[in-house]
Amino acid sequence: MAKDHEQLMQWNEEHLRSAIEGAGVALWSWNVDSDELTLDLKAHEMWGVSETRKVTFEDLSLHIHPSDRDRVRAAFSASRALAGSYEIDFRIVIGDEIRWVSARGKGEDEGMVGRSLFGLFLDVTGRKQAEESNELLAGEMSHRVKNLLAIASGLTSITSRSSASTEDMAQQLTHRLIALGRAHDLVRPLPGHSKRGALLGDLLSVLLAPYDDLGAFSGRIRVSVPRMIVGEASSTTLALIIHELATNALKYGALSSETGTLDISATGHDDPLILVWTERGGPPVERPSGQGGYGSKLINRAISAQLNGSITCDWAQEGVVVTLAISRNNLEA
């Protein structure tokens, strides 16, 4: 123990600075009388402020995200009356970039030297992005469970309208549920190609067959797309998007009505591929309010991040029209 203590005492300022830099820690001190902050080089870089000018707490506040600014100001003011250590996470805006910062220190004026308090900043952007992704995933899992119940209910209703008996209904419903599973089986090594994938028309038809009373191409759902390959990675992404759109159509749109129809079409070989989803014959359409739920966020994230594309919606009263623009290179990957 004595030897360990002796080695610890041999740490000098250079050693401590090296450890602090390695941990990505930025140091600050705050004079509670003048409101002036003293920042080290890392803190200046983190906040995007010049080293050649005095910096006050109010100066830094201008960089705090407007949605977090009042909360941070109140927290720092209250920290002087709180016993022990404190920590607060908030967003800062540097140019067009948004970062997450964690400010840590001691409250109740503990550790004050010469009317100054000391603490540190940590860039926790990576951790916050991971937390947001986990929250989105958890919410999406809950959302999917609810959608599965809605799909089962909707498929049962569709099947009951075209069934002559209980046995017939059970058989048709079983076949439709099995068809959902076939989408995963479509991805396979393709003749003449070194990679695995599925044909776009086949994938769409199998994914949408459970929602059609008479079957794709001949019933209320029509698929007309060019012959092209959807790669193994993109097949799952596209299946997720089509599943979400079909679920919404079954719950609120054309597929919720006996007379509703759905057309999915794409023409030519332009890049990006323009895939048009057109619903008609359902209940009157109303533009949704707010920012959309987990399903909408998932679609937008999947099509932009994984398919390098975009999605637009025309909320026409006679039926929604969804246009997907998808990079062909990404779709074939």
Predicted local distance difference test score (pLDDT) of residue 215: 47
CATH of the domain at 283: 3.30.565.10
Which has the closest alpha carbon to 24: 109, 104, 78, 83? 104
One-letter amino acid for residue 132 of the chain: E
Same domain assignment for residues 116 and 203? no
Report the range out of 21-30, 117-126, 177-186 with the highest average pLDDT: 117-126
- By DSSP bridging, strand 261-265 and strand 221-224 are parallel
Q: What is the largest CA-CA distance in the chain?
A: 88
Mean pLDDT of the chain, nearest integer: 78
Compute how many other C-beta atoms are within 10 angstroms of the C-beta atom of residue 258. 12
Percent of the chain predicted with pLDDT > 90: 13
At what angle are helices 200-208 and 232-251 packed, to 10 degrees?
Answer: 30
Least confident of 5-19, 41-55, 190-204: 5-19
Same domain assignment for residues 220 and 297? yes
Residue 144 has pLDDT above 60, yes or no: no
Same domain assignment for residues 172 and 88? no
* CB contact at 8 A, 327 and 307: yes
CA atoms 269, 272, 273, 279: torsion sign: negative
Same domain assignment for residues 285 and 143? yes
The mean pLDDT of 245-257, rounded to a whole number, is 86
Domain final residue pick, 123, 152, 179: 123
DSSP secondary structure letters along 91-140: EEEETTEEEEEEEEEE-TTTT-BTTEEEEEEEE-HHHHHHHHHHHHHHHH
Same domain assignment for residues 108 and 140? no
Residue 208 has pLDDT above 50, yes or no: yes
Predicted local distance difference test score (pLDDT) of residue 25: 84
Same domain assignment for residues 30 and 140? no
- pLDDT interval class at 264 (50, 70, 90): very high
Same domain assignment for residues 163 and 114? no
Domain final residue pick, 98, 123, 148: 123
- Flag whether the pTM goes above 0.75: no
Predicted local distance difference test score (pLDDT) of residue 32: 74
CATH of the domain at 30: 3.30.450.20
* CB contact at 8 A, 286 and 310: no
Same domain assignment for residues 136 and 258? yes
Count of domains for the chain: 2
The mean pLDDT of 93-113, rounded to a whole number, is 77
Which has the closest alpha carbon to 202: 214, 192, 189, 216? 216
Same domain assignment for residues 140 and 263? yes
- pLDDT interval class at 294 (50, 70, 90): low
Same domain assignment for residues 107 and 177? no
Domain final residue pick, 123, 138, 164: 123
99 or 155, which is more confident = 99
Residue 217, domain extent: 129-332
